[in-house]
Structure formats: structure tokens, C-alpha cells
Amino acid sequence: MSPATPSPIAFPDVILPQSASQLRTEVRSFLDEERARGTVLGRPDSWLAGWDPGFSRRLAERGWVGMALPTEYGGAGRGFLERYVVIEELLAAGAPVSAHWVSDRQAGPSVLEHGTDEQRRFFLPRIAAGQCFFSIGMSEKGSGSDLASVATRAERTTTGGWRLTGTKMWTGGAHANDYAIVLARTDETEDKHAGLSQFIVDLRAPGVRIEPIRLMSGEHRFNALHLEGVELPGSMLLGRRGDGWKQVTGELAFERSGPERYLSTFPLLVSLLRELEQRSVTAEQLTHVGILTARLHSIRRLSLGVAASLDAGAPADIRAALVKDLGTRLEGTLTETVRSVLPTPADPHATPGSHPELLAFALLHSPGYTLRGGTNEILRGIITRGLEQH
Ligand SMILES: Cc1cc2nc3c(=O)[nH]c(=O)nc-3n(C[C@H](O)[C@H](O)[C@H](O)COP(=O)(O)OP(=O)(O)OC[C@H]3O[C@@H](n4cnc5c(N)ncnc54)[C@H](O)[C@@H]3O)c2cc1C
């Protein structure tokens, strides 16, 4: 790499397009309507836990699902920066976006990039209409950080299709969604990164067994996804046989780069401010709020830099890893700071949307912030390697 190559952790200073402020106003007024309907409770982690297909469809009617997909496939043909404005508003408000989250964030872009024209024409308009929800079928027991060691096998059938056998772990939303993109081994190779392929699996197909994994809160969001000889037609191979690793790493850039990696607990800060408004506030409390706000502001600027790189089609994986490491740590710090600024007992059974309930929600979800989508230790390895290569 030449010395003139920009550092992989240099972030462009982003100016949002002019259309952004109009768009932001439209999203806020949509959210006001939804609040009046009672669908937006301002909960933390709403991109993971707020499953509301009706909300997703109404959002799609505004053109805000599959925003960056081309219009010929039913998308809105708008850029990643405009999409960023929409999703940051939704996350900040704690809107229930989890039904379409994975389809919008990574399944759609993956099908667009690697899919056949038939796959694009079938899946993309449905995704953009908020009518087709995807799960991520990557991790397995013992194959999380070391994803290339997946043991799920896909064998050719005599009819030109595939038979999948194995168990995926932590498959978010598999009990409610329509499809999962599953990473499986198709060929035995010396290099474990070769011989992997991706498949689109219908989650209602015979041989699919879904076993709940409950969170500490008792919520059912995750599953073990057992694939017990699931037969797929040949047309459900996504991309090229053997290119699974390359495809999955590209997908991870989308998975790791968004504002959900620092805004998961933001609604709790909003709730704290509402609580403080009703009290006389000390200088110390204000200082803590100020520090959190400053950190959020600086991570937002970095995160926008990642969105700008994606918009320009430039590689963003190292920058995304850095923002995700900083951002997910802030998600935990925010929860702890809110707790110390206003010592309120967390109560999962308190009135939905009240401060004690939101605090309990954020606390019970907190072990996942720095794990999901790749742990922070793994992210730091990616950043270090990127810097060394530079
Ligand atoms: C809330 C939540 C949602 C998730 N959703 C999904 C989903 O929808 N679909 C899906 O496929 N997966 C999902 N996952 C799985 C997630 O991607 C994995 O948990 C994650 O990649 C870590 O893998 P692991 O759990 O196997 O931990 P391990 O890989 O076993 O890691 C255990 C510990 O060892 C450390 N470690 C491992 N290797 C190294 C190394 N080389 N150097 C330094 N430290 C290392 C890790 O950082 C970690 O602290 C989800 C996980 C969580 C918690």
C-alpha cells in the first residue's frame, strides 16, 4: 500500500444532503402519528426487540424500507445518507423496527449484489414493501467469532437442489420471520474460508425446527435454528458456490456499520432528561449528561463517515469496526450513567414506557451490546490488522 493511501481509520467529514432536513421532519411527523396510535413506546434496543409488522408496512408505504434499493426492484433509489437520517430518527425514538431490520440492512443489499435476477425480482420488491422479513443464519455453537468453522452442511440432491443439515444459534426472529440467509459448507477444502456458500432458506419449509432461546428478561427474540435435512431448490443458492466467505464478510460491513451500534440505549437518555425536567437538577447530574451527549455527538460523526463511505462504494469494514467498538461500549456506559445520575429501581413490570421499565429493559439487554454482530475483541483485531497493513 502506498504511503499516500488514506488511513483506514480516517473519517470523512460529512455534510448531509439538503434533502435530509425535510426528510427528518417527515419522519418525525410520521413518528408523532405512530405515538398517537400507541405503537412507539420509546424502548431501548427497538431494532432487536420491537417486532411490529404493521409498523414496518406503514413505514414501507412512505418509501422508508429498502430506501437504498434501486427503483426497478421496488426500492426508493435513495442513498445511504438519506437512509441514515431515517433510521437514526427511528432508533432515537425507540420505534418498533425489528421486523424489517435485517431485510432492510443486509438481506436486501446482499440479494441485490449477489442474487440472480430472478431472486432480485422476487425478494427485493417484497422487502421494500415491508412484506418479507429475514433472519441471519451465521453463528453456530462454537462458530461465532470463528465463523469460518461452521459445521452446517449443504449437499447436492439428485434433482439439482440442496439438502441442508446443521444448527444455527442465536437466530434472531426466526420464529416470526419468513426467510434466513444461511451460511453452510458446500465443499471440503484445506483453506476453511473456501468451500462455504450462502442459501436463502424458507423458515416454514419442512425440516426447519425452531427452538426458542430466551433472554434474561424472559423475552423470546432468539432461537436455535435446526435444519434437519431441509431440501432447497437449486435457485436458493445465493451468489456463487464457494464464495460464501467473501459474501458474508461484505454483509458484515452492513451489519456492523449502522447507527444501531451506538443508539440502542439512546431512548433511555431521553427518558432520563424527561425525568430530570421534573426535578431540580444538580451540576454533577448535568455534567454526566453533558459528557454522554458529547460522546454521542462524536460517535455520530464517525458513524456518518461510515455511511458516506458506503454511499461512495468505498470499503468501510475497518472504520465500521472502530465505530462499533466505541459505540457499543457507549451503549453500556450510557445505561450505567443513567442509573447513577438518577438512582431509580429498575422494574421490568412497571408501566410500559416508564423510566423504571425502560431502565430494566436496557439493563437486561446489556450483555448483548458488545457481543452481537461480532465481539469487541474481534473488532479490535480487525482494526489492528487494518492499521498494520496500512
Ligand atoms: C443478542 C445477540 C444477538 C445475536 N443475533 C444473531 C443472529 O441473529 N444471527 C447469528 O447468526 N448470530 C447472532 N448472534 C451471535 C453473535 O454473532 C455471536 O455471539 C458472536 O459472534 C460471538 O460468538 P460466540 O457467542 O460463539 O462467542 P465466542 O466466539 O466463543 O467468543 C467468546 C469470547 O472469546 C473471545 N474471543 C473469541 N475469539 C477470540 C480471538 N481470536 N481473539 C480474542 N478474543 C476472542 C470473544 O471476544 C468473546 O469474548 C447474536 C448474539 C447475541 C448476543
**Which tens digits make up the pLDDT trace of 10-64?**
888 899 989 999 999 999 999 999 999 999 999 999 999 999 999 999 999 999 9
Please state which architecture CATH assigns to domain 136-242: Beta Barrel (2.40)
**Which residues does 356 contact at the CB level (< 8 Å), separation at least 6?**
344, 345, 346, 347, 350
Q: Is pLDDT at 4 greater than 80 in this prediction?
A: no
Residue in 34, 255, 260, 357 annotated catalytic: 255
DSSP annotation of 144 reads S
**374 Cβ closer than 6 Å to some ligand 1 atom:** yes
Give the pLDDT confidence score for residue 254 in this predicted structure: 87
pLDDT(194) > 60: yes
Nearest CA to ligand 1 atom 48: 375
Atom of ligand 1 nearest to the CA of 374: 21
Provide mean pLDDT across the span 154-165.
98
> Where in the chain is CATH 2.40.110.10?
136-242
Q: Cα–Cα distance between 97 and 277 in angstroms, integer?
A: 28
**What is the identity of the amino acid at 233?**
P
Fold for domain 248-389? Butyryl-CoA Dehydrogenase, subunit A; domain 3 (1.20.140)
DSSP 36: H
Query: Rounded mean pLDDT of 230-249?
Result: 97
Question: What spacing in Å lies between the alpha carbon of 374 and ligand 1's midpoint?
Answer: 6
Model pLDDT, residue 335: 98
Mean pLDDT for the stretch of residues 357-384: 96
Residues spanned by CATH 1.20.140.10 within the chain? Answer: 248-389
Q: How far apart are CA 309 and CA 316, in angstroms?
A: 6
Helix (H, G, I), strand (E, B) or coil at 115: coil
Three-state DSSP class for residue 388:
helix
Helix segments in 64-201, DSSP class H: 80-93, 98-102, 108-114, 117-128
Question: Which amino acid is present at 35?
Answer: R
Q: Report the relative pairing of strands 179-185 and 134-137 from DSSP bridges.
A: parallel
**Percent of the chain scoring above 70 in pLDDT:** 99
Assess whether the C-beta atom of 368 lies below 6 angstroms from ligand 1: yes
- 311: CA distance to ligand 1 center in Å? 28
How far is ligand 1, taken at its centre, from the CA of residue 371, in Å? 5
Whether the CB of 148 sits within 6 Å of ligand 1:
no
Grid cell at residue 187: 465443499
Instruction: Say if residue 20 is exposed, middle or buried (CB neighbours under 10 Å; 0-12, 13-18, 19+).
Output: middle
pLDDT, position 157? 98
Q: What is the mean pLDDT of the chain?
A: 95
Question: Considering just the CA atoms, what is the radius of gyration of the chain in Å?
Answer: 21
Rounded CA separation 216/343 (Å)? 22
Q: Is the CB of residue 78 below 6 angstroms from any atom belonging to ligand 1?
A: no
Q: What is the rounded distance in angstroms from the CA atom of residue 162 to the CA atom of residue 200?
A: 11
Q: At what angle do helices 355-365 and 317-341 cross, to 10 degrees?
A: 140
| Best CA proximity match to 8, nearest among 276, 329, 388 | 388
C-beta of 258 in contact with ligand 1 (< 6 A): no
Identify the residue whose C-alpha is closest to ligand 1 atom 13: 170
Residue 375 Cα to ligand 1 middle (Å): 6
Question: What is the C-alpha separation between 346 and 271, in angstroms, rounded?
Answer: 13
Rounded-to-integer distance, Cα 233 and Cα 352, Å? 45
**In this structure, which amino acid lies at residue 42?**
G
CATH number, span 19-133: 1.10.540.10
Chain centroid to CA 26: how far? 23
User: Residue 1: pLDDT above 80?
Assistant: no
The answer, yes or no, to whether residue 224 has pLDDT greater than 70, is yes
Q: Which CA distances in Å does 322 have to 102, 215, 263, 312, 319?
A: 21, 27, 15, 19, 5
Give residue 196's pLDDT: 98
Mutate to test the pocket of ligand 1, among 139, 261, 365 (most ligand atoms within 8 A of CB): 139
Any atom of ligand 1 within 6 Å of the Cβ of 384: no
Mean pLDDT of 265-293: 97
Question: What is the structure's pLDDT at 310?
Answer: 84
Rounded to whole angstroms, how far apart are CA atoms 113 and 215?
34
How far, in Å, CA of 301 to CA of 80, rounded? 15
CA-CA distances (angstroms) from residue 118 to 19, 135, 163?
33, 20, 21
Domain with CATH 1.10.540.10 in the chain: 19-133
Among the listed residues 109, 163, 165, 169, the one whose alpha carbon sits nearest the alpha carbon of residue 136: 169
Q: What is the mean pLDDT of residues 356-367?
A: 96
Neighbouring-strand partners of residue 237: 199
> How many other C-beta atoms lie within 10 A of the C-beta of residue 287?
11
Average pLDDT over residues 171-200: 97
**Count of H-run helices and E-run strands, the chain:** 13, 8
Active site residue 255: yes
Query: Distance (Å, rounded) from C-alpha 273 to C-alpha 293?
Result: 11
Contact between residue 164 and residue 236 where contact means Cβ atoms under 8 Å apart: no
Angstrom distance (rounded) from CA 34 to CA 348: 23
